[in-house]
Amino acid sequence: MLAVLSPGQGSQKPGFLAPWLALPGAEARLRWWSALAGVDLIQLGTEAGADEIKDTARTQPLLIAAALLAAEHLPMYDVGLVAGHSVGELGAAALAEVIPPETAITLAGVRGREMAAACALEPTGMSAVLGGDADAVVAAIEEAKLYPANRNGAGQIVAAGALDALATLTVDGARVRALPVAGAFHTPYMRPAEEALAAIAGGITTSAPARILLSNFDGTAVAHGREMLQRLVRQVTAPVRWDLCMRTLRDLGVTAIIELPPAGTLAGLVKRELKGDDAPEILTLNTPDDLPAARDLIARHGMAPSLEPTPLFRVVVAAGAGLFHPADDLTEGQPVSTGQVIGQVITRQGGVDVAAHAPGVLTEWLAHDDDPVAPGQPLARIGGPQ
């Protein structure tokens, strides 16, 4: 299985978008998206300096525009999974066809402006805690009345909160490094931004994900478009659990990963976390010169293309860890309807219904009665003629 990742804030570099403007239609696309985002994406991506593109209101739509522009030149129909880090989840949601690209760009513009405004209300910031035992690091952060805003795996947890508390934060066995950000993202300090985004999100129409879509909230695969939109709003004040997303990549047996531009940050985290014989092949897509290698990677690790008519499948996945029990009266070859319960995952908190998110035919069980399943694990294929 191949995964495409959309990076988040902090991965941007001056001029990183310039090579992409040479592609046919790219400039016109960016001008249209600039109108939606309320910022000049072309100027920001080609001429602006590091300080200008560090501005949250500008950075967020710029990152989503870059990821979506590059993805337009990939055979995404062969990609099995998408995920994004922080604001990158908007890009991932568009790549999963939960929302259109124009909606993702518009939401990124609103999100960036509102988070920048929330940052101006109180002097807050973020610091990376590098090394140390994860549980001890989180305990030290909370004891300092700060928040563990990002848990990025590979020995990296980001603390966020008031600047005076960050200045005195120390953690045994770890280094603390201040980050050049405007405020305490993914904490309750961003509540005004979450409320502003929620007011707009209520009018957005969503679709079921066309491929597996992971959520920063808990690393699980989200099966319903409306649920993903709600998670995108909640994520503004909730911690980013990228560590759990990477765990799901491993559990699903992802064999290759492409990081969209500006690429490098997520690839580095994955390389440090997913090691060994089963480590995925990773490609950082930064310029159009990287496109042939990216297409080759998709051809080798994605779904095999064919000129013959093929069924259109949707995969139903587990929302959490537990034991899977398929519905007693449902067998392969039977029709299912949207919302029909096809089984349950028995978790520590009780049973969680697994429902079909599109009509079709139960083509194949991918998990069987009493099988242990992980978050995001495929449970069944539902298909029909294309």
Q: Is 337 one of the annotated active-site residues of the chain?
A: no
Which of 186, 215, 301, 357 is flagged as catalytic? 186
Long-range contacts of 100-106 (CB under 8 A, 24+ apart): 101/33, 101/68, 102/32, 102/33, 102/36, 103/204, 104/64, 104/68, 105/33, 105/36, 105/37, 105/61, 105/64, 105/65, 105/68, 106/36, 106/37
Q: Are 314 and 208 in contact (CB under 8 A)?
A: yes
Q: Is 186 one of the annotated active-site residues of the chain?
A: yes
Burial letters for 202-222: b for 16+ Cβ neighbours within 10 Å, e otherwise?
eebebbbbbbbbbbbbbbbbb
Tally DSSP H helices, then E strands, for the chain. Answer: 13, 17
Q: Are 153 and 85 in contact (CB under 8 A)?
A: no
How far from 106 is each of 99, 112, 119, 200, 331, CA to CA, in Å? 11, 10, 20, 10, 43
Q: Are 74 and 301 in contact (CB under 8 A)?
A: no
Estimate the crossing angle of helix 56-71 against helix 26-37, to 10 degrees.
Answer: 140
Helix or strand (DSSP H, E) at 37: helix 26-37
How far from 192 is each of 118, 120, 283, CA to CA, in Å? 6, 11, 37
Which of 86, 215, 301, 357 is flagged as catalytic? 86
Collapsing DSSP to helix, strand or coil, 66 comes out as helix
Catalytic positions, written as ranges: 86, 186
